[in-house]
Amino acid sequence: MTLLASERRSELVVFPLALVLRLAWVGYIHLHGGALEGPDVPSYDELALNLLKGKGLQKWDYKGLFSDPDRNLIVRSFRPPLLPIVLAGVYGVAGHRYWVARALIALLGAATCVVLMRIARRLFGQPAAVVAGLLAAIYPKLIYYAGEPVTETPYTFLLTCTVAVLLAAQDSEAGLWRWPLGGALIGLATLCRSALLAFMPFACLWTFVVRPRKLRAAWEAAFLAAGFVLVMAPWWGRNAAIHGRFVPATTEGGYTLWVTNNALADGGGHCFWPDDRRAFDGLSEAEIDRKFARMGWDYIRGHPGRFIELAGAKFVRFWRLWPHAEEPAVGTLKAAVAGVTFIPILILALWGAIAARHLWRRLLLIYLLFAYYTLLHMVLMAITRYRLPLEPFLIVLAAHGLVELWNRRTLPSQ
């Protein structure tokens, strides 16, 4: 316990523990063939290989969308660029070896546990930091996704770094450098996973709420936005040059909006093409994205009751206690493990939030992330995998809840 009482020493315990568990999982995958798993992994792998070949960030897609069932289209902005660029760097140095890419992802997963400890320490103190770090280190879902070269782990790392920097900025009156750094991290996270794109207005609003001097808060919000724009500008410029229009994130958003808001939608990951294939013949990548977005918004406006019904179903799906076993790369065993380990975290997090209700202002950024993600996925696709980046923050609240329970248990004997 003395070892864990020290901030630095506790991190030096948690990081190796988290890394060993994640590398052990990587080793297990490698010994069992090392095949890529999940619907998104081959896509990022193909993009990385095309970058190495000098073809740029592109791949073939949309097969089955057109009237000619064998036709497909080269897409250049369908996925965010950060992970393919990182994978291309790994493959360029180490060759096309999945285990090396997985080892890097595992390293980021272990580092996330340390960043999470620093968030918990800032909010609740050293005991909660230790508990949060240990819980994150052994949490099965964080270990599982650290074994695949997909966006979940690097995005979660960037999101926790963002929160850590912005919470430090919230507590500081010295200097402004943390604000553009926080904005830059939001930009990097968006380039890893475009779901965070619309969070910037929430972050700026949060700045005005938590900072006592409003004129200074305006400058801080401006620096926050400037850091975001600085990171995003190259991607925006590249997309404008390719497509001749502003593409703020990816060209996948239109399809995602439509496929989860139509007569056949169930709110989950059931993907399919529309019946009218000829309507897409001859359209460019950007035009297809725009057409899907228009179809999705038209359905929402024309069927408000159905939209509300779907939004409720998506809320349930997003906060479901365990994944649907029939989802890609899930199955009964993984769904059971995920549920058994998530339920106590959720219960303890709810208790931790109640116990910390007087600290709502310090926790507001985290609560805004919960609200933002929930609302976003009540409109777009909702599966429990998309909730993973929020679960480290639930672990922080759960750690506080555990510490509070322990303190209440030992209080009578003091």
In angstroms, the CA 66 to CA 372 distance is 35
Confidence category of residue 205, pLDDT binned at 50, 70, 90: very high
Average pLDDT of span 93-121: 96
DSSP character at residue 32: T
- CB of 410 closer than 8 Å to CB of 342: no
pLDDT single digits (tens) 54-88? 999 999 999 999 999 889 999 999 999 999 999 99
pLDDT single digits (tens) 301-350? 999 999 999 999 999 999 999 888 777 677 888 889 999 999 999 999 99
Bridge partner list, 73? 61
pLDDT at residue 239 in the model: 97
pLDDT at residue 5 in the model: 64
Cα separation values, 230 from 184, 222, 226, Å? 7, 12, 6
Average pLDDT of span 121-146: 96
pLDDT at residue 174 in the model: 76
Prediction pTM value: 0.94
pLDDT single digits (tens) 208-242? 999 888 888 999 999 999 999 999 999 999 999 99
Residues 202, 371, 174, CA angle at the centre, nearest 5°? 40
Provide the Cα torsion 254, 282, 47, 43; round to 10°. Answer: 60
Confidence check: pLDDT of 134 > 80: yes
Confidence category of residue 414, pLDDT binned at 50, 70, 90: very low
What 3 state SS string does 340-398 have?
A: HHHHHHHHHHHHHHHHCHHHHHHHHHHHHHHHHHHHHHHHCCCCHHHHHHHHHHHHHHH
Average pLDDT of span 45-61: 94
pLDDT at residue 36 in the model: 76
Bridge partner list, 75? 59
Confidence check: pLDDT of 178 > 70: yes
Confidence check: pLDDT of 187 > 90: yes
Confidence check: pLDDT of 175 > 80: no
Residues 193, 320, 136, CA angle at the centre, nearest 5°? 60
- CB of 283 closer than 8 Å to CB of 233: no
Report the percent of the chain where pLDDT is more than 70.
Answer: 97
Spatial CA neighbour of 114 closest among 102, 127, 130, 95: 130
Spatial CA neighbour of 170 closest among 197, 196, 206, 202: 206
Confidence check: pLDDT of 94 > 50: yes
pLDDT at residue 6 in the model: 80
Spatial CA neighbour of 125 closest among 313, 408, 410, 399: 399
Confidence category of residue 4, pLDDT binned at 50, 70, 90: low
Q: How far is CA 91 from the centre of its chain?
A: 24
Average per-residue pLDDT for the chain: 93
Helix (H) or strand (E) holding 73: strand 73-75
- CB of 121 closer than 8 Å to CB of 129: yes
In angstroms, the CA 70 to CA 63 distance is 6
Lowest mean pLDDT among 154-163, 172-181, 306-315, 326-335: 326-335
Confidence check: pLDDT of 292 > 90: yes
pLDDT at residue 409 in the model: 81
Spatial CA neighbour of 261 closest among 224, 330, 310: 310
Helix 391-410, helix 331-355: angle, nearest 10: 60
pLDDT at residue 315 in the model: 96
Helix (H) or strand (E) holding 59: strand 59-61
Confidence check: pLDDT of 277 > 50: yes
